[in-house]
């Protein structure tokens, strides 16, 4: 049975933005979250926990990227969240 055409009318750049936001942006948010967390908690514990929890966070963020209507807005959101976590990481290490 063929797919419904109303679901296939997405622009190829929107599709590219969603895919890259899901893979790269989700990974960036998950890793920067754990970096920020490591500045305030016990670093070895956060690193060990990050092997599992980063994958779960990444998978959830990837699904959320594909559910959004605009991939570029997802990129903007993921980059701003990552920047926020990097600022926490930067000021936590000083």
Average pLDDT, the chain: 89
Residue 6 pLDDT greater than 80, yes or no: no
CA 91 – CA 68 distance, rounded (Å): 32
* Angle subtended at Cα 65 by Cα 61 and Cα 67, rounded to the nearest 5 degrees: 115
pLDDT tens for residues 38-69?
A: 998 888 888 898 889 999 999 999 999 999 88
CA 92 to chain centre: 21
Under the banding of pLDDT at 50, 70 and 90, the label for residue 7 is: low
Q: Quick one: DSSP state of residue 44?
A: H
pTM: 0.84
Helix (H, G, I), strand (E, B), or coil: what is residue 41?
A: coil
The pLDDT of residue 1 is: 60
Tokens coding 56: 């779960």
């Amino acid at each position: 049975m063929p797919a419904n055409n109303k679901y296939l009318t997405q622009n190829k750049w929107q599709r590219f933005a969603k895919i890259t936001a899901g893979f790269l942006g989700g990974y960036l948010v998950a890793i920067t979250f754990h970096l920020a967390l490591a500045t305030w908690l016990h670093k070895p514990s956060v690193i060990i926990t990050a092997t599992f929890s980063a994958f779960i966070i990444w998978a959830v963020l990837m699904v959320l990227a594909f559910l959004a209507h605009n991939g570029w807005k997802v990129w903007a959101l993921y980059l701003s969240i990552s920047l926020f976590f990097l600022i926490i990481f930067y000021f936590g290490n000083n």
